[in-house]
Chains A and B, each alone.
Chain A
Amino acid sequence: MIDCKGLTKQYGPLRAVDNLSFRVEPGEVLGFLGPNGAGKTTTMRIIAGFVAPTAGSVSVCGFDVESQALEAKSRIGYLPEGAPTYPEMTPLSFLRFVAELRGLNGQRRTTRLDEVIGLLHLESVLDQSIETLSKGYKRRVGLAQAILNDPEVLILDEPTDGLDPNQKFDVRRLIRTMSANKIVVISTHVLEEVDAVCNRAMIIAHGRILADDTPAGLEAQSRFHNAVTLKLKDAAQTAAVNAAVAALGEVAETEVDADAGRLTAFPAPQQRPLTAISRLAVDKGWELAELHQESGRLDEVFRTVTGGASA
């Protein structure tokens, strides 16, 4: 378990993290979302034991990260922002170095090295110096060192940054498979990632928690939640359809995207207008090109919650 109590980090006049308190339980994959400069990286650095908080405390698996640093650090796998490594080393010698510091030896060391090399597909670059590798490989070497000793807690700062879509898919699948009995905290500003891997999402801005929910819960806060979007085969009918849809009791208001020819009907409180709209469409004989219900848009929630904040 990660238990943060009243975390605060002050850099001169700037309060990077402002009285953050939260707990993360095993099995949770927590996604930190927030604009740049929101305090995500600083919070992760505090949990990993790299930055000391100005006030407050963090315990990881019952060990205080400041007073019992070694016990806490040995339970955390950490991918720092930018995945720093030693560029002159090869992935193999680098991973061996980390294994040694992690106290892995003998058969277990060999097994774990083989496993993570396989999981992150590093076989072909093992003997090449890290500085000559592509950004994607560098990131995967960083991930490999983080998961090397199969830690109880994984802190990953932007784990898929710089990866191509296939690699992103692989890494997300890897995080999901590893997360069963672990605590995983990732930071990202790729919102689709939250849906793909997280079962809990926290929006942070100016060092404060603005929202803390499941991804579905966050989407439910969107005004697009349960909204119905439709498109007519004949765009000329859109105005008439708009008037009919807007008149429904289940619909609070409508919006027309003239360029795309789409009409979106936002639900009245506690309503799901999909049934009513589809029935209306059948009754009136509208020819539809598209009709779907939206689950909510994370990016819109993100913008609303953070108020367009960025630093």
Chain B
Amino acid sequence: MNAAVAVLKRELQSYFLTPVAYVFIVIFLISANWLTFGVGLLYERGQADLGPFFTFHPWLFLFLVPALSMRLWAEERRSGSIELLMTLPLEPWQAVLGKFLAAWLFTALAIVLTFPIWLTINYLGNPDNGTILAAYIGSILMAGGFIAVGSCLSAITKNQVIAFVLSVIACFVLLAAGYPVVLDVFSPWLPPAIVDGIASLGFLTHFEDISKGVIDLRDLVYFGLLIGTCIYANTLILGIKQAD
């Protein structure tokens, strides 16, 4: 575990040594505010909740999180530092976990930095802060899912652009899995049971449940399993392809 923590610390350090951290946080905060006030019309609705704020999180993450996760392994491959990392005495899963957690913690920090919106809504009215907290937790869990998928796909290439494009597509499919745009592709030729299965894999279904203020064990298990599976697959991919 110490090894994973060492990797985590090094990764976090690197975010702040390069412009990545600042660019990401600034763009995330500006976009979140614009979507909330400009598109979601938080003031004009006249309701004391953060509905419009959280509604846009999945779509914001769809582009911003792959931009963060694309470098996780592709950059190591490109620069050759993967050879250094993987010949140090640590298990591959520790490296994968450390990198994933670093990216997740960093994204969580960016999400938490949106707290002025929460202050604003509390100043304007009396929102249900329990629901808001649940939605924040849901948003961070969903970001974790995106990062796990992105990290896994970043491990298959040394090209960050490819990693980004693949991650956006994979995340979009996962986001929209419960909606006709994805289900229509499968329903003509797959039995309904499997189509229902695909529908239940959707991020949005689970995120919407949580952001209504209900933290259901099934939603936690869903994100936990998704992250766990991706970390496992990521480790396998590294084992097969680390030297290519």
Q: Which residues of A are in contact with B by a Cβ distance under 8 Å?
A: 45, 48-52, 70, 73-74, 76, 78, 80-82, 84-89, 93, 97-98, 100-103, 129, 145
Contact = CB atoms under 8 A, between A and B. Distances in A.
Interface of B: 2-3, 6-7, 9-10, 13-14, 17-18, 79-81, 83-84, 86-91, 242-243
Contact of A86 (B9, B14, B86): B14
A101 B80 contact: no
B87 A49 contact: yes
B13 A89 contact: yes
A98 B243 contact: no
Contacts of A80: 80, 83-84, 87
Contact of A93 (B13, B81, B87, B90): B13
Contacts of B81: 84-86
A50 B242 contact: yes
Contact of A85 (B3, B18, B84): B84
A101 B9 CA distance: 11
Given A81-B83, A103-B2, 5 more contacts: A48-B87, A50-B87, A70-B89, A89-B10, A129-B17
Contacts of A85: 81, 84
A88 B6 contact: no
A52 B239 CA distance: 9
B86 A50 contact: yes
A101 B81 CA distance: 15
B87 A74 contact: no
Most buried by A among B18, B89, B90: B89
29 contacts: A45-B83, A48-B87, A49-B86, A49-B87, A50-B83, A52-B243, A73-B87, A74-B89, A78-B84, A78-B87, A80-B80, A80-B84, A80-B87, A81-B83, A84-B81, A84-B83, A86-B10, A86-B14, A87-B79, A88-B17, A89-B14, A97-B6, A97-B9, A97-B10, A100-B6, A100-B9, A101-B88, A102-B88, A103-B89
Nearest to A99: B6
